[in-house]
Structures are given as C-alpha cells and as structure tokens.
Amino acid sequence: MAVHEPELYAFTRFIYYAFIRPGELRAIEIQDVRFNQKYILVRGAVSKNGKTETVPIISALLAVISKLELSKQNQFLYLFGKGLIPGKEVSAKQVAFRRHEKVLKVLKLDNKNYTLYSWKHTGAVNAYLSGVGIKQLQQMLRHSTVQMTDIYLKSLGLRTDPNIENYNW
C-alpha cells in the first residue's frame, strides 16, 4: 500500500496512530495538524461525540506527516481532500473505503472482514500491548471514561488486567 497507494497509506496511518475515525479524518484541515505542539485538533463539528478535542502526534505519525510536506501547503485545505490529497474539496465519503477494499482484494485479504476502520482497532490493540496505559489510551481514543475504553478493549479480545494470573488471595 505504501508503494502503490501512498495517499491511502497516509490516510490509514492517521487512523492507526492517532485513532481518528475515517469520517472525522476527511474533515481535518491542514491547519488542524499542529506540528510544533505535536497534536491534531478534531473539531466538535466533525467528531463523533460532538466535542472539540486533540490527539497527540506520536513520533511514528510525525514521520508520516513530515513526508507529506504539509507546511508547504495552504493551511486551509483539507488534509485528505479529493483523491486523498490536500485540497479545497472534502473527499467523497466512500473514496478511502473503496480504495482500501481494492488493496485488500489485491492482497487476497478481502474475505477476512477487514475494513478501513480496522486500522483504528489494530492501532489501539497494539498501543495497549506495547504498554500504553488504559488512562492514556482513553484520552488518545477520546473516550469519555476509562470504563468505555475497557469495554472497547474487551470487545477487541483483550483482557485489560494482564496481571490477573499473578493475584493471590
């Protein structure tokens, strides 16, 4: 995907590393990517919960952002406009989904129930397994409570208390 679909690859990296939902990501403007402060602003008008919040830019995502050379672009363009490149028009709702489905088909992964949204789930699982605490993960996922994050992780097949075998009473 990085070679043959670089725009889609960048789109998936924002989902994977920043947990931004595809629908939200379509509405992010370049000005919302705050390089120096290392966060992305997700405006309430586009967020699932209607709240304006920020998500951190971790170093792996910063590397992707650097390659996009966004500082050379008009700051008022959509980050992933038409064609999934910076532009004045919002990308059509299904563009990224359709392109992702084509990639899955080429890779013979189209019968595995993977979706574009799976990148968010996989990113959250990998973040948790790499040691990101549940409270920090709650903030990164923009969940309102730790309990919501716990339920989310359990729905993805994770036990959220990895030390349960070590308890003795």
Instruction: Please name every residue paired with 134 in a beta bridge, in sequence order, or none if there are none.
Output: none
pLDDT, tens digit, 9 for 90 and up, residues 112-127: 989 999 999 999 999 9
**Global pTM?**
0.91
pLDDT on residue 167: 61
Alpha helices in 20-163, H assignment, sequence order: 22-26, 59-68, 95-106, 118-129, 134-141, 146-155
- The residue whose two tokens read 């650097």 is 66
For 117-169, the pLDDT digits (tens) are 999 999 999 999 998 999 999 999 999 999 999 999 999 988 766 665 666 66
Round to whole Å and give the CA distance between 44 and 108: 37
118-129 and 6-18 are packed helices; what angle lies between their axes, rounded to 10 degrees?
Answer: 50
Tokens of residue 159, six digits: 């036990």
Residue 154: half-sphere exposure toward Cβ, Cα within 13 Å: 8
User: In 10 A of CB 148, how many CB atoms?
Assistant: 13
Rounded-to-integer distance, Cα 154 and Cα 157, Å: 5
